[in-house]
Amino acid sequence: MVNSKMKKKIIFSINESIKAFQLLKNEKLLLQIEKVINKITKCLKNNGKIIFCGNGGSAAHAQHFAAEYVSKFEKIRKPFSAISLTTDTSIITSISNDFDYKYIFSKQIEALGLRNDILLCYSTSGNSQNIIEVAKLAKKKGIFVISNTGNKTNKLSKCSDINIKSPSSRTSTIQECQLLIDHIICRAVEIKLSKK
């Protein structure tokens, strides 16, 4: 049997996540998610690519979703064009060493980003310098920028076309919301692009 104190802590954590998931039903968030689905679908139809980036857990998230688009999510279908800027250690360490860590993503977007691409940035704080740098450069190149942050006021929102704010200030809950949001988006895009 579960220890009563531990049980309370576990249930509290579950309820915190459920509360945040319920808040995702907010009309503004739903409209943003719908807009992202449509933008990604249009981008992929027009031979653009989805470019992902983030730090730490958000780096893993970026890699996760690049894989969902390139391989498959729930349907066997042709690969979608997507890449994560978090995977090439030679590029990342070279830029960090020769320039500065804050340029690890912006240098890559300068080399790889095209006007009809979409950049998806993940930062729970919305204030990560390397994410702000890549968003600014992407905007200069005419790339559509979608940022995913927590609910606090942040610098990244100012250099994004869409800033999806997960309804929490707790890092783990923000990441859980981002996972759910991206699963919803990926599922919808996959369905839309699989229609004949």
What gap in Å lies between CA 164 and CA 179, rounded to an integer?
A: 12
What mean pLDDT, rounded, does the chain reach? 96
pTM of the model: 0.94
- The answer to whether residue 2 scores a pLDDT higher than 90 is no
Query: Would you state the pLDDT for residue 196?
Result: 56
Pick the more confident residue, 5 or 107. 107
Taking only the tens place, the pLDDT of each residue in 146-181 is 999 999 999 999 999 999 999 999 999 999 999 999
Query: Would you state the pLDDT for residue 7?
Result: 86
Each as own residue / partner, the long-range contacts of residues 25-34 (CB below 8 Å, 24 or more positions apart, any chain) are 26/167, 29/164, 29/165, 29/167, 32/162, 32/164, 33/164, 33/181, 33/184, 33/185
Taking only the tens place, the pLDDT of each residue in 108-160 is 999 999 999 999 999 999 999 999 999 999 999 999 999 999 999 999 999 99
Query: Would you state the pLDDT for residue 45?
Result: 96
**CA-CA distances (angstroms) from residue 9 to 13, 14, 43, 105, 150?**
6, 9, 43, 38, 23
In the chain, the percentage of residues whose pLDDT exceeds 70 is 99
Taking only the tens place, the pLDDT of each residue in 50-73 is 999 999 999 999 999 999 999 999
